[in-house]
Amino acid sequence: TAWNTVWPYRIDYGAVVAADFNKDGKMDLAFSVHLQGIRVFLGDGKGHFTDSGKGLSSTDFPSRRLAAIDVDGDGYPDIVALSEGPAGPGAATTIYGKIRVFLNTKKGTEWKAIDAADPKYAVGGDYLAVGNFNGDKTPDFFGSSVYYQAHNLLFLSDKKKRLTWAPPPTNDEGKIVPFLSYYAATTAGPFSSKKLDDALVSYVRFWPTSLDPQIASRPPLETIVGIDRITFVGDVPQRVPLLRFKGTRPISGMASGDFDGDGKLDALFTRFEPQREGVILLGDGKGNFTRAKTKGLSLRALTNYDVTVADVNGDGRPDVIIMYESANETRSGLQDGSIQVFLNRGVEGAAVKSEKKK
């Protein structure tokens, strides 16, 4: 069936979320656009979209990651977006803070932009997690960063000053977000508590080879990839290691879902090292994880920038969706990018793969 869809603007790659921003019962779309900014298109339910960008950073906030969530509690979905990092060597991406909130006003027809991250913080990448980390009604954020050693990625809402966020006071001690790293895929959810979310954070850590070994001896692995769980149950956030392995390529996607149907949240991530694979970690609801034995969840060697979890076939189980980019960077080469859907067949069954070429 041919789709006669009309877009107000042509856009580059990035990310997209669907939400009913004007609450008319018809789904609308928000895009974070590479080297451009944020755009919102209001849908009429018939494939036609109208630009609704007043107040958005449409041309001065390059981004490849955003989320739709009600930030101010007025019942309308707002937008949270993360800067994608520098636009080029030595080039600044934006004059604003690198995590921005766009508040939905006048039923999706106007937006009010505020900085969730102070402009002094070098946060920016392809991954953003939204969760309830401190127990108030305002969402908190955990970003990623292509800036080395830019560890101020956690932004908690101020319980006294509304719609204000800042890193926790103890973050600079290195006990919450690991030092000496680049920070990639992340997700959030109630992995250890029913009242608060945890953040799962992935990173690539490099030991400083210029450091005098008489001051600190070199570790067995000078470059590692890791995933840590950051919990907020106690008085101060705590970082709990989940896994470490030798590698230099970051975790390329992370998501969560109850894959085994036991009522406790699980995690999924994709990686290239030590081999190309998707890994499911089954949670026990107390912050502990066991690797699941999976069948059929075999990934292509192509790069993926994220992974999506959704119930594709309506059977009540979370399925896995992965989109790959083509191996060739020019149009004259083979365009072998694709979208794979892995259907969840339950604990004893195998994941069944369906694939649609792009």
Which tens digit of pLDDT belongs to each residue from 59-70?
A: 999 999 999 999
Measured distance CA(154)–CA(284) in Å, rounded: 25
pLDDT at 256 over 90: yes
Q: Which of 17-31, 70-84, 237-251, 324-338 has the lowest mean pLDDT?
A: 324-338
Q: What is the pLDDT of residue 350?
A: 44
Domains in the chain: boundaries: 14-309
- pLDDT at 330 exceeding the cut of 80: no
How many DSSP H helices and E strands does the chain contain?
0, 24
% residues pLDDT > 70 (the chain)? 94
Q: What is the pTM of this model?
A: 0.92
What is the pLDDT, as a whole number, of residue 150?
92
User: For the segment 112-147, what is each residue's pLDDT rounded down to a tens digit?
Assistant: 999 999 999 999 999 999 999 999 999 999 999 999
pLDDT over 90 at 26, yes or no: yes
Distance CA 51, CA 37 (A): 14
The yes or no reply on domain 14-309 and CATH 2.30.110.10 is: no
> How much is the pLDDT for 194?
95
pLDDT of residue 353: 54
Q: How far apart are CA 170 and CA 154, in angstroms?
A: 11
CB 320 within 8 A of CB 268: yes
